[in-house]
């Protein structure tokens, strides 16, 4: 998948038809929640890839599948050509140094019984940093980098505000100097003014530490601000991929168009014609056949191929892909 | 000696609650009685004085006497040895057995979880009496038999509490964060999940101690534990029941003793839970 | 001249704890006109929710307590009413409220229909059969397909968006004069949010309900509201028509807030962010609450709290540097 401007960069992560289903029992029958249902994607070194979608689209599950937080998954997840799900536990430990996660709920992601210092230090302990002095230096340095005074290291998570807690989470993710970070709704739980601080911080750290981000969010305005390329998901499938400017200038998939039009604009004089979708988002335990969006699609009503066959991602202009039979 | 040092240590911390002081003092006294009963007791606990049977408190017998004229205060003091060791010992043994199993069941899930749960169900349905009798054939009727019996029958409850606590904690973000950072399962279970279950465990510990002492009572009564004339709080209680109409003191003495000790353990447990929880400090 | 339906004057709600007194609502005044949608904007802890809970007198007490002010509904002071009168005449009847989390606001043990019938039978004195018919009519009105089936369903078998519609139906079934919507769409997906906001507008047009919309999302305010009130640290810092607030923000906090949101429509390298953090409500500074974080702060700002001053008939701001003079 070539993208103009990025083709020189190497592919850091390659996802090949990745599927993640969750089993649950419905009486005697075993059903599946098809959280991620066949995703093929490349993430390039140095980019911030946005992953956007609503409840049930599978974006969080995809992020966690990449990090091998589940025991099994179908398809291939290749991090720098290494198959993540085939690594031995020792190799996996080494791989984990390079892939980290920042959580949505800053407080919930911090162990309430450990001090800030201990929380940030923990990853170093897992990866064989035996010298306490060395660890201390590394922790203090990263704390300063994210805007925390090293002196507060002896305090507990609940003593801090949401924004500061998230800084701790970021420090912990960065202490091992990873290459790739999944930001799972990293600013969604923060107040607007704090959001801005943290987004700026993430941008700055990306430059300083040469990071690649997978930025998961349901908020398109935030995504637009930080991402280079954007992937739109719906019910476990990718429906559109495009560089940021192209996606907003020329959204092709009907779901993408509806998503963009649904965002309230903070300007009372700009009134957009809003596309309001009918009905609720179907459950991933029972997704529609063929194109997952077809029951709510306002562009194709009753067309046979939409219900029968899942559309594949096709490139409609350089770097811009859409999964739709009629776009 | 012991009493003072414990008290001093607690007073050094910023705020000392009255209840904590009370608990510590009481338990210290109980432990002292366990180790040096002769110092506290006024009489030989086995010494008979039938003439003065079932008497109330007097200058000679501070808490009165039982149906054979034995001094109740001395019997309480000597009884501490059995009751405290059975109470604390079985609660501790149950903890050692139940907590790791509960953690393992919650963490691994799946078939292992089912197996462990069924095993625990089996053990908890075992009638303690049968178990005591069984163990008696191997060991003699003794404190050890009692501790083993009670521990084996009670550990499943610990296991279940820890398991349900661990199941919900396991899903928390900070556990996932530790996994992403590279934590191994052993670390996750014991260093990350377990400390957050401590609250439930401590509460359970104090409750267990109480029920252990009472179970001791029934087992001893049936001759499967402490044989008379050895004193133990639980068995004193069961014998005293027959003489309620003739001596109020006789039944009150062991009751209040058990009550005070269990209360002390309970209050201490509360204090411990609060001190361990960083979010409650300040 | 717009007609006022609800007026809050100098409302004070304090929270008493061992750490001190938190003045969650500190002499707040604003009014709601008939048929309008008034937005209350602010971040967490600014007091917007507590104000609305105070209107209905459902603040958790202890530790909270309404210690002063007046709340006038069509001229009648609600704070002077007895608990029984609040419960029978006002709550659910003349003033209704919908919350952010529809799952926890609906009783999981009763069907949707039963919960909808309750206020109908209680406040409008309907009999069971009549209430059932009306309930189904309400469900249809809020856009729930197959309302007869949904009537006998439990909340957990419905999606978030649908539950929120049920909440709206419950809130409107007694045709209240005022609807307070506390972050009604924050927990919903953006496409569902669009549906719910459309619904609220439609219902306002059809039923004439006046709405207080509490939110932290400035986009929602711009789309939905006629006027808006900006709150910070328990006080109103600016009030005006939506056009005035967005096009001519006078309070530095309002400006900061507007500047720090990422917008779909323009490009920014770095987002503006307001320096510092919100002061603790138990330890408020003497002067203007925003002084430490304000770019235009002067000595005067630290010594005394500014009063509210009028810029136009509809636009008020609480700042010593208001009125354009002094702020670039």
Domains, chain B, in order of start with CATH, read: 2-280 (1.10.3720.10)
Q: A301: which residues sit within 8 A by CB, 6+ positions away?
A: none
Q: For A79-85, which contacts have Cβ atoms below 8 Å and span 24 or more sequence positions? A: A79/A12, A79/A13, A79/A180, A80/A12, A80/A13, A81/A14
Of A192, A262, A280, the CB nearest to C190: A262
Average pLDDT, chain B: 82
| Spatial distance between the Cα atoms of C70 and B200, rounded to a whole number of angstroms | 47
Rounded-to-integer distance, Cα C244 and Cα C264, Å: 21
pTM for the structure as a whole: 0.82
Question: How high is the pLDDT of residue C308?
Answer: 83
pLDDT for residue B5 is more than 60: no
- Cα–Cα distance between C180 and C98 in angstroms, integer? 6
User: Could you please report the per-residue DSSP string of A164-189?
Assistant: HHHHHHHHHHHTT--SEEEEESTTTT
- Spatial strand order in the sheet of C64-73: C20-33, C4-17, C64-73, C76-77
Per-residue model confidence (pLDDT) at position C181: 93
Q: B206-235, pLDDT tens digit by residue?
A: 888 878 887 787 777 776 777 777 888 878
Cross-chain residue pair C191–A263, CB shorter than 8 Å = no
Per-residue confidence band for B1, with pLDDT thresholds at 50, 70 and 90: very low
* Helices and strands in chain C: count of H runs, count of E runs: 12, 12
The DSSP secondary-structure symbol of A277 reads P
How many Å apart are CA A199 and CA A192, to the nearest integer?
A: 11
CB contact under 8 A, A96 and B180: yes
CA distance linking residue B218 with residue B235, whole number of Å: 7
Query: Residue C116's closest CA among C155, C78, C77, C68?
Result: C155
> Which pLDDT does position A16 carry in this prediction?
93
* Chain C residue nearest residue A163, CA to CA: C277
Phi, psi (5° rounding) for residue A240? -155, 140
Alpha-carbon distance values, A62 to A187, A215, B98, C181, C191 (Å): 18, 12, 37, 34, 21
Q: How many CB atoms lie within 10 A of CB B206?
A: 20
- A246-255, B195-204, B268-277: which range is least confident on average? B268-277
- Three-class secondary structure of residue A136 per DSSP: helix
Residue corresponding to tokens 């140094």: A97
Which residues are CB-contacts of A20 (< 8 A; sequence separation ≥ 6)?
A: A35, A36, A58, A61, A62, A65, A70, A73, A74
DSSP 8-class letter at B141: S
Digit-by-digit pLDDT tens for chain A (327 residues) are: 444 444 557 899 999 999 999 988 777 888 888 999 999 999 999 999 999 998 888 999 999 999 999 888 899 999 998 999 999 989 999 999 999 999 999 999 999 989 999 999 999 999 999 999 999 999 999 999 999 999 999 999 999 988 999 999 999 999 999 999 999 999 988 888 888 889 999 999 999 999 999 999 988 888 988 999 999 999 999 999 999 999 999 999 999 999 998 888 888 887 777 788 887 888 888 888 889 998 888 887 667 888 888 899 999 999 999 999 887
- As a whole number of angstroms, the distance between CA C223 and CA A271 comes to 8
Helix (H, G, I), strand (E, B) or coil at A310: coil
Distance CA A105, CA A109 (A): 6
CA geometry: angle B255, B259, B264, nearest 5 deg: 155
pLDDT at C327: 42
Separation in Å, CA of C189 to nearest CA in chain A:
6
pLDDT at position C93 is: 84
Backbone angles phi, psi at B270, to 5 degrees: -60, -45
Of the candidates B172, B276, B277, the beta carbon closest to that of A108 is on B172
Q: Are B167 and B104 in contact (CB under 8 A)?
A: no
pLDDT confidence of residue B280: 60
Q: Which residue has the tokens 């465990």?
A: B201
Name the burial class of residue A26, with classes exposed (0-12), middle (13-18) and buried (19+) by CB atoms within 10 angstroms of its CB.
Answer: exposed
Main-chain phi, psi angles of B64, to 5 degrees: 95, -170
Distance from CA of B246 to the nearest CA of A (A): 55
* CA of A126 vs chain C CAs: smallest distance (Å): 34
Whether A258 has its CB under 8 Å from any CB of chain C: the answer is yes
Q: Which chain A residues are closer than 8 Å to B182 by Cβ?
A: 93, 96-97, 123, 126-127
Nearest to C181 by CA among C238, C236, C224, C127: C224
Contacts of C270 in chain A (CB under 8 A): 200, 203
Tokens of B48: 């008979």
CA dist A295 and A289 (Å) reads 9
Residue A183 CA to chain centroid, in angstroms? 6
The pLDDT, as a whole number, for residue C1 is 54
State how far residue B174 is from chain A, nearest Cα, in angstroms. Answer: 4
CB-CB under 8 Å, A112 with B180: no
Cβ–Cβ below 8 Å for B174 and A108: yes
Q: The complex's ipTM?
A: 0.84
Nearest to B64 by CA among B257, B234, B247: B247
Q: Is-contact B158 B94, C-beta < 8 A?
A: yes
For residue A4, what pLDDT is reported?
45
List per-residue pLDDT tens for chain C, 328 residues long: 578 899 999 999 999 888 788 888 988 999 999 999 999 998 888 888 899 999 998 888 888 889 999 999 988 899 888 888 888 888 888 999 998 887 778 888 899 999 999 888 888 888 999 999 999 999 998 888 888 988 999 988 888 888 899 999 988 888 899 999 999 888 888 888 888 898 999 989 998 899 999 998 898 999 999 999 999 989 999 999 999 999 999 898 998 888 888 877 666 667 777 877 778 788 888 888 888 888 888 888 888 888 888 888 888 888 887 644 444 3
Q: Which of A138, A321, A146, A152 is nearest to A241 (CA)?
A: A321
pLDDT at B10 over 60: no
Name every chain A residue with its beta carbon within 8 A of the beta carbon of B192: 111
Q: Is the pLDDT of residue B177 over 60?
A: yes
Q: What's the N-to-C CA distance of chain B in angstroms?
A: 32
Name the maximum alpha-carbon separation found in chain C.
67
Contacts of A127 in chain B (CB under 8 A): 182
């Amino acid at each position: 998948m070539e993208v103009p401007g990025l083709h020189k960069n190497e592919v850091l992560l390659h996802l090949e038809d990745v599927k993640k289903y969750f089993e649950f029992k419905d009486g005697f029958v075993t059903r599946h929640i098809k959280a991620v249902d066949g995703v093929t994607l490349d993430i390039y070194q140095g980019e911030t890839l946005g992953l956007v979608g609503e409840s049930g689209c599978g974006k969080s599950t995809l992020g966690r599948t990449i990090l091998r937080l589940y025991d099994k998954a179908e398809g291939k997840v290749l991090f720098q050509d290494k198959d993540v799900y085939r690594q031995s536990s020792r190799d996996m430990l080494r791989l984990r140094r390079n892939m980290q996660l920042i959580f949505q709920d800053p407080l919930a992601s911090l162990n309430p019984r450990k001090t800030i210092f201990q929380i940030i230090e923990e990853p170093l302990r897992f990866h064989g940093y035996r010298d306490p002095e060395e660890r201390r230096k590394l922790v203090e340095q990263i704390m300063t980098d994210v805007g925390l005074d090293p002196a507060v290291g002896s305090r507990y998570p609940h003593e801090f505000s949401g924004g500061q807690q998230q800084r701790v989470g970021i420090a912990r993710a960065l202490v091992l100097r990873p290459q790739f970070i999944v930001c799972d709704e990293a600013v969604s739980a923060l107040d607007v003014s704090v959001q801005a601080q943290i987004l700026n911080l993430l941008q700055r750290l990306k430059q300083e530490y040469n990071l690649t981000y997978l930025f998961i969010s349901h908020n398109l305005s935030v995504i637009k601000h930080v991402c280079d390329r954007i992937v739109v998901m719906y019910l476990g499938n990718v429906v559109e991929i495009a560089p940021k400017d192209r996606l907003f200038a020329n959204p092709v998939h009907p779901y993408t168009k509806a998503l963009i039009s649904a965002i309230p604009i903070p300007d009372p004089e700009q009134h957009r014609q809003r596309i309001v979708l009918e009905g609720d988002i179907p459950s991933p335990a029972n997704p529609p056949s063929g194109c997952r969006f077809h029951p709510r699609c306002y562009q194709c009503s009753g067309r046979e191929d939409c219900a029968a066959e899942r559309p594949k991602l096709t490139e409609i202009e350089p770097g811009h892909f859409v999964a739709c039979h009629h776009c | 000696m012991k009493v003072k040092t414990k008290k001093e240590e607690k007073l050094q911390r910023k705020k000392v609650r009255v209840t904590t002081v009370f608990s510590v003092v009481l338990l210290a006294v109980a432990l002292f009685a366990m180790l040096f009963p002769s110092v506290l007791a006024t009489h030989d606990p086995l010494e008979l004085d039938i003439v003065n049977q079932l008497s109330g408190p007097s200058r000679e017998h501070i808490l009165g006497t039982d149906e054979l004229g034995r001094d109740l205060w001395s019997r309480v003091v000597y009884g501490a040895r059995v009751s405290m060791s059975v109470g604390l010992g079985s609660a501790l043994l149950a903890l050692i057995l139940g907590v790791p199993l509960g953690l393992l069941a919650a963490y691994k899930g799946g078939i292992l979880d089912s197996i462990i749960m069924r095993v625990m169900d089996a053990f908890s349905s075992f009638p303690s009496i049968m178990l005591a009798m069984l163990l008696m054939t191997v060991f003699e009727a003794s404190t050890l038999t009692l501790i083993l019996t009670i521990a084996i029958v009670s550990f499943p409850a610990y296991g279940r509490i820890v398991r349900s606590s661990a199941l919900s904690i396991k899903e928390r973000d900070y556990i996932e964060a530790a996994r992403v950072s590279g934590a191994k399962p052993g670390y996750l279970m014991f260093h990350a999940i377990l400390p957050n279950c401590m609250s439930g465990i401590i509460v359970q510990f104090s409750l267990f101690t109480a029920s252990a002492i009472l179970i001791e009572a029934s087992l001893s009564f049936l001759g499967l534990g402490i044989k008379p004339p050895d004193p133990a709080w639980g068995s004193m209680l069961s014998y005293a029941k027959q003489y309620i109409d003739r001596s109020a003191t006789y039944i009150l003495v062991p009751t209040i003793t058990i009550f005070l000790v269990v209360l002390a353990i309970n209050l201490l447990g509360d204090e411990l839970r609060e001190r361990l929880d960083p979010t409650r400090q300040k | 001249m717009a007609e006022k339906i609800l007026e809050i004057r100098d409302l004070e709600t304090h929270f008493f704890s061992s750490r001190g007194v938190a003045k969650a609502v500190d002499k707040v005044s604003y009014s709601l006109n008939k048929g309008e949608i008034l937005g209350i904007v602010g971040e967490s802890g600014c007091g917007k929710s507590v104000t609305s809970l105070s209107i209905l007198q459902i603040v958790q007490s202890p530790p909270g307590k309404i210690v002063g002010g007046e709340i006038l509904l069509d001229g009648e002071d609600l704070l002077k009413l007895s608990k029984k009168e609040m419960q029978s005449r006002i709550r659910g009847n003349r003033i209704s409220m919908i919350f952010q989390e529809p799952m926890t606001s609906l009783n999981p043990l009763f069907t949707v229909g039963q919960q909808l019938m309750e206020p109908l039978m209680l406040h409008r004195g309907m009999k069971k059969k009549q209430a059932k018919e009306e309930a189904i009519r309400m469900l249809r009105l809020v856009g729930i397909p197959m309302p007869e089936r949904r009537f006998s369903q439990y909340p957990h078998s419905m999606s978030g968006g649908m539950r929120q519609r049920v909440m709206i139906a419950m809130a409107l079934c007694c045709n209240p004069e005022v609807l307070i919507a506390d972050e009604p769409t924050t927990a919903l997906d953006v496409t569902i949010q669009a549906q719910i906001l459309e619904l609220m507008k439609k219902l306002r047009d059809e039923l004439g309900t006046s709405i207080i919309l509490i939110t932290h999302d400035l986009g929602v305010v711009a789309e939905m509201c006629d006027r808006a009130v900006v709150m910070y640290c328990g006080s109103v810092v600016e009030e005006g028509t939506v056009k005035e607030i967005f096009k001519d923000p006078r309070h530095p906090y309002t400006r900061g807030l507007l500047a720090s949101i990422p917008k779909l429509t323009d490009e920014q390298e770095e987002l503006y962010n307001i320096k510092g953090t919100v002061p603790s409500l138990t330890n408020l500074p003497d002067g203007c609450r925003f002084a430490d974080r304000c770019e235009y702060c002067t000595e005067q700002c630290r010594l005394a709290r500014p009063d509210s001053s009028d810029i136009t008939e509809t636009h008020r701001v609480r700042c010593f540097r208001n009125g354009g003079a002094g702020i670039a």
